Each structure stands twice: as structure tokens, then as C-alpha cells.
Structure 1
Amino acid sequence: APHRAHHTYRRHDLLLLDNLAVSHRAASGAHDASAAAGLRVLHRTTLRGRHSLDPPPESGLAPFAYIWGGCPAGLGARGGVWQASDHWGVGFRWNGTAPMRN
């Protein structure tokens, strides 16, 4: 896939991403108890920049995902599950049976 990144975490790593614009999946076991999976700390930071961060038109990426309707990319047949959402969460999930623990 042309828009894919993978990172293997090591101690003291810092990874910055636009969580609302990224369809991501955690490794198996990432939602296990912290004693088994290790402690993960998430801090939310909101920045205001001088330039638009919308993807350029030639990227083919939408500037946002409409999460209140059907799957915008037809990904359900390729391993993901689209669940119409509300204002509290994004509708795409890699595994429709995994409990959400936010």
C-alpha cells in the first residue's frame, strides 16, 4: 500500500501522528492487561499551524472521513469492519469483535 507505515516501539520512543486521519491497527495483544502488554501512555496535543494539513489532491486521500454513514472506501470485504459511529468515535475497526477500551 502506498500510504503505510510500521513502527516497532522501543523504550523512550516518541511517535507523532494525526490520529483522526489515520486508520491504524494495534498488534495482537496490545489491549491485554498492562502487566502482559506493557504500559502505554497517550498524551493528546493539539497544534495550530500556519499551513493547511489537508493532503494534496494528487495523493487521492480525503481530507476527512465521514464517520456517520457507510464505509467510504469499501474496506469491509478486505478485513476491516465499518460501523456507523456517533460523535464519540471513528467508525472503522480492524476487528469487529474486539472490545473498544478507550
Structure 2
Amino acid sequence: MLSVPFSISDSHSGLSEMSGVVCLEGDDVVVEIQIKFIGLFKRPSQTFRFDMTDLEEVRHTRRFWGDTLTLRTWPMERVADIPGSSDGALALKVKRADRPALDALLDRLELWLT
């Protein structure tokens, strides 16, 4: 199973840090997130899953220091419960060191979407 670590910025007005992994299991996209409040208190990790048929758009933005993977779903409620999502989209920040894993994940998604 191929997994890509990520972080989500702008969570809870900067009072918390969110990090996790995204992976593909069969025809499902699995997102596991852990939230750390004020850098001290960790909540148990949460796992969210939705079918790849719900993906409306997969956008990859490559930057020098890291990349952003945006997953947009239809219907929007597929990602509504995931912390950090808005308007049916989930923007995941991926470090440059994890770019090879991200590229492999994008290849699998591209094969499935075409």
C-alpha cells in the first residue's frame, strides 16, 4: 500500500496542527489525520474513506519547497467531515522529500481517472 504523508495548514485559526497520510486501498481513497492542539495535546487519529468514483478533480501544484495535492469530490459531503476541507475540496501539503511517493499516487489516480 502506497501512502503519502501530508499536513494541512490554516486549521482552527492556527491553534492546531494537522498531519496524516493519504493512500489508495482498492477503489477507496483513505485519509488518516491526527490533530495536535497548541502543540501539546494529541487527539486520536481519525480515518476517512471515500470511493474514487466520487473524485471530481485531482489537482497537483508543484512548488520548490513542497507540493499541494487538492482532492475535490462530488457530492461535496464526501469530504465535509474531514478537518481542513472546504467546499468539497481537501488541500494537502506534501513535503518535497515525499514527492516520489506523491508522483506514484498521482500515477495510480491518473490511470483510474482516464
The answer to which structure has the higher helix fraction is 2
TM-score normalised according to structure 1 size:
0.26
TM-score normalised according to structure 2 size:
0.24
Q: Which has the higher contact order (CA 8 A, sep 6+)?
A: 2
The answer to which structure has the higher strand fraction is 2
Larger radius of gyration between Structure 1 and Structure 2: 1
